[in-house]
Structures are given as structure tokens and as C-alpha cells.
Amino acid sequence: MDYLERHRTANGHGQVAPRRVATPWLALLAGPLSYGIAAPALLLDELARATGTGERAAAAGVTAFGWGIALGTPLLAALLARCGVRTALTASAALLAAGTILLVLVPTLPALVAGAAVQALGSAGLSVTAMKLADSPRRMGVVAASLAVVGATGPLTGALVADLLSWQAALALPLLAVAAVPAARRDATPPDAMPASFDPLGMALLAMLVTSAVLTPHRPLVAGPVTVALLVLLVVRTNVRPDGFLPAAVARNGRFLTACVLVFTVGLVNFTLLYAAPDLLREHAGWDSTRSGVVLLAPYLLGGLCSGFLIAASVRVPHRVTAAALLGGAVAAPLLAAVASAVPLLLAAMALASLAAATGQGVLALRATGVVPGSHKAEALGLFNLAYLLSVAFGPAIAVTLSHQTG
């Protein structure tokens, strides 16, 4: 019996069983997204000089990247569900490359903002595709750990690349994910079926909702009511078109929504502590930002690396126990940071928050996609990751508010 005969599927139609994309390729496909968030952290002064603006204006590029991944996650997940893995990978890689080219070739603030946004759309598509292809707890653990580890090392890596090459090279780091696209395309299967219709109004409502939600921490009096109104309109649209851009089978699933709320919570705690960490270490230890950045590698690397093992092991633990442990970590971490003054305890709080967020992203992604119909897995992943990414928008704003209140 030849190779193909040994690998026929059991359905009797003579189809060859598809190969799985190797786990290291999935990690490379997803992980570099975190460079877009973390790599510019120590480069704002250099970006301000290069674009002839102030540091706050230069930080608009980071904000644009955050908006892009929040918006791109559900949009590219919908493309993934509609057209399959290969089309999603091609479109995402093209967006990532186009955004990166704009970033590195046109050193102006408008180009920085636009390039970061387009780059983020592509990064989001590659990341959500990697999570869809991660079809086991172990593989999902590797994907989640790659995102966390790259995020932990991103600021230092960005600074080193900028010193050795240029700030443009540091901003181009998310492009590394494109190296995994050929392997993922080669081993991907065609889409099972094309949805019967497209829902442009539902897509537009979700895009506007994401935009207003991202702006809410910065303009709460304006963006907050708009977000609520758009949410109501999207619920109405889902009732009118249950098979539309936001499938009712996902939006009305209580267990899916619970997973989204929980991942938002653990992400919110993690990103709030991450952005509050320099002030806490300056207050209690007198450290400057550079020393704090190096020392913070330890807790966030620990959280990211350990999360991969915990996600793989979660399959042997009842879900309620896992959810309770994640929620307990999310509650304990800020309490410990609030009462502790010793540096080891502060670092322990940050490690706990990092561990809860990185583990929660992987474990709860498996839960969120496991409780919805298989035909809506890609959309569920997109909406789940959107819930996690929204914590990136709210966490820093909360940290700044708390700093001003205690300062």
C-alpha cells in the first residue's frame, strides 16, 4: 500500500487527510503581533525626532496599532470563516507587508499612524488564523505563550534593533510572521463551505462598535454612550439577521460570552499592572524606567513560558476549577500589588497577572470555540480575541488614572 493509500480518510471518498501545520510555524505566525504593541515602548523619543512631533503624538502610532488589531481580529476572522485559511493568510500577509512598507519608507506622523493601523490588520489576521489551526490544548498553549513571551521581550528587543539598525527596523518586527505563511498555506485545507450571503451592515456596526470601545477610555463622555448605542443596534441587527456578520449562534451563547468576560477581566488586570509597574517600582525602589524594563522581563517571561504548560495541562482539569483559578489570580494580583512595598512581592504580583492572562487567553479560547457550532469557530475566535484585545485599550487608561490619583 503506497503513502497516499495509507493516508486516505475514513469517509470512503478517496480524500487525502490534510497535514497539520507544524506547531513552531503557528508560534511564528502569531507571536510577532506582540512586537507591534511592545517594540515601540522605548522608542517614542526617537520616533518623535524622526517625525518632527512630540512624544505624545508619536505614541499615536501605538494607539493606531491597538485599534488595528482590535478591528482586524473580527474582520479577518470573518474572512477566514467565509473564504478559508489560505485566502485569510494571503490577505493578512499582504496587509502586514503594505503597512510595514509605509511605516519604514515614509517618516511622517500620518504615515506612521496609517502604516501601523494597516500593519495591525494583517497581524491580527495571522494571529487569529494561527489560533484556529491550533487544534489541541498543547498547540494552543504554544501559540498563547509565543504572544506573551514576545510581548515581554518586545521593548528590549525593539530598543536593541533600533540601536543596531534603525527605528524603522524595530517597527518592522511584526513582519517576521510572514515567514510562516508559506508553510501554513501549504498545509491548510480549502474552506468547507461558502456562507450563503454577506452582511455589510452588520460588519459596519461591529467596526464602529470596536472603534468607539477603543476610544472610550480616552473620551468616556462621548465614546461611552456611542458604544452603548452601537451595541444595542448590533443586538437588533443580530435578531434581524441571525446568520449575519455576528452569528446569533455565537452572540447568544452564554458559555461563550462568559469566556469573553473572563478573558477581558484577566487581560485588564494584566495590562493595568504592566503599565503601572514603572511607577510602582519608582515609588518603592527608586528605579528608573530602564532598570524597571530589564527587571520586568523576569515576571512576564515567567508568566508567558509557564502558561504554555498550564494550557496543555488544563484538559485534565474541570473547566470550573480552571475558571476559578484564573479569576482568583486576577483578583489576587492587584490586591498584592496594592498592599506590597517590597520589590519581590510587586514582581510576584506582576508574574501572577501575566500568568493568569496568558493562560486564560489559551484555555478560554479553547472553551469559547468548543461551545459554539463548528461552522462558527472562526467568528467565535475573532470575537473572543476582540474581548481580550479590548483590555489593552482599557488597562493603560486605568493605570494612568490611578497614578494621577495617588501622585
Write the DSSP string, 44-57: HHHHHHHHTS-HHH
Comparing CA positions, the residue from 187, 52, 179 lying closest to residue 126 is: 179
Q: What is the pLDDT of residue 79?
A: 86
Comparing CA positions, the residue from 269, 274, 247, 275 lying closest to residue 357 is: 269
Cell numbers placing 172: 518592522
Cα–Cα distance, 36 to 204 (Å, whole number): 25
Beta pairing partners, 8 = 16
Cα–Cα distance, 407 to 403 (Å, whole number): 6
Q: What is the pLDDT of residue 189?
A: 64
Q: What is the pLDDT of residue 4?
A: 37
Report whether 158 contacts 296 (CB < 8 A): no
SS3 190: coil
Residues 6+ positions from 227 with CB-CB distance below 8 Å: 209, 212, 213, 216
Question: Other CB atoms closer than 10 Å to residue 84's CB: what's the count?
Answer: 19
Q: How far from chain centre, in Å, is Cα 331? A: 22
14's torsion region: left (phi>0), alpha (psi -120 to 50) or beta?
A: left
Helix (H) or strand (E) holding 347: helix 343-370
Tens of pLDDT, residue by residue over 162-210, are 889 988 999 999 999 999 999 988 866 665 555 546 788 888 998 899 8
pLDDT mean for each 10 residues of the chain (407 residues): 38 49 91 87 77 69 84 87 88 96 87 91 93 86 87 84 90 94 80 61 89 85 92 91 86 91 92 81 76 80 84 85 91 89 88 90 87 84 88 77 64
Report whether 125 contacts 155 (CB < 8 A): no
Q: What is the pLDDT of residue 403?
A: 67
SS3 219: coil
Q: What is the pLDDT of residue 11?
A: 43
Q: What is the pLDDT of residue 407?
A: 55
SS3 246: coil
Structural domains of the chain ordered from first start = 19-194 (1.20.1250.20), 200-240 (no CATH), 247-407 (1.20.1250)
163 exposure class (CB count in 10 Å sphere: 0-12, 13-18, 19+)? exposed
Comparing CA positions, the residue from 321, 315, 284, 387 lying closest to residue 74 is: 387
> Can you give the pTM of this predicted structure?
0.82
